[in-house]
Amino acid sequence: MNTPIVRLYVGLLLLFALLVGFTSNWSVFDAEELQADGENKRPLLEAQQIERGEILTVDGEVIATSTKKGTGESIRYVRNYPEGSLFGNPIGYSFITQGNSLFERFENETLTGEENEFVSLIDQVRGQAQEGSDIVTTLDASAQRTAMDSLAGQASPGAVVAI
């Protein structure tokens, strides 16, 4: 056998093994860390393809809803907050550019319909689109408005506590 060709073959085989090893380590074993990275926008892009559930107050007022944008393969759901910043402190936000915060992040699995992976897999096999579940909070819309109106003229930041 030709010794230089054998050395080249072994070298290429070793480099290929290193490539497979490092790629597997990054994409399989460190996948959760990669997905949790704040710079990784892929989970947010994937979440935009799912109609998130509505967030409602205890008296039935809609705090957050998803609006369909685009057609065909480019359908995206954009989060809307009908009450504006009224419920911003307890609810937070869900935007592609900033990510999720507060309640939107804490209840992300329920809002995107991922709380039960087994059902999600069965729905994918059936060809059904994944859809989020609605959540009713314990927030009271009239109490929130009263609190915000009471703090409206304050020169310094404040808080309202209801017991």
Could you report the per-residue pLDDT of 94-103, keeping only the tens digit for each?
Answer: 776 666 777 7
* CATH number for 78: 3.90.1310.10
Q: For the stretch 65-84, what's the b/e string if a residue is b when 16 or more beta carbons lie within 10 angstroms of its beta carbon?
A: bbeeeeeeeeeebebebebe
User: Any idea which residue has 């069965």 for tokens?
Assistant: 122
What pLDDT shows up at residue 1?
67
Half-sphere exposure of 72 (CA within 13 A, CB side): 1
d(CA 125, CA 105): 27
φ, ψ dihedrals at 86, nearest 5°: -55, -45
With 80 as the cut, is the pLDDT of residue 125 above it?
no
Residues 28 and 96 occupy one common structural domain: no
Residues 54 and 21 occupy one common structural domain: no
Residues 108 and 144 occupy one common structural domain: yes
Residues 57 and 132 occupy one common structural domain: yes
Instruction: Tell me, yes or no, whether 162 lies in a domain.
Output: no
Instruction: Tell me, yes or no, whether 161 lies in a domain.
Output: no
pLDDT digits (tens, 9 = 90+) for 75-93: 788 888 888 877 777 777 7
Residues 54 and 12 occupy one common structural domain: no
User: Any idea which residue has 């597997």 for tokens?
Assistant: 24
* Residue 94 CB contacts under 8 Å (≥ 6 apart), including other chains: 47, 52, 64, 79, 100, 101, 104, 105, 108, 111
User: Can you give the residue range of the structural domain that contains 26?
Assistant: 3-36
Instruction: Tell me, yes or no, whether 134 lies in a domain.
Output: yes
pTM (2 decimals)? Answer: 0.61
φ, ψ dihedrals at 66, nearest 5°: -110, 140
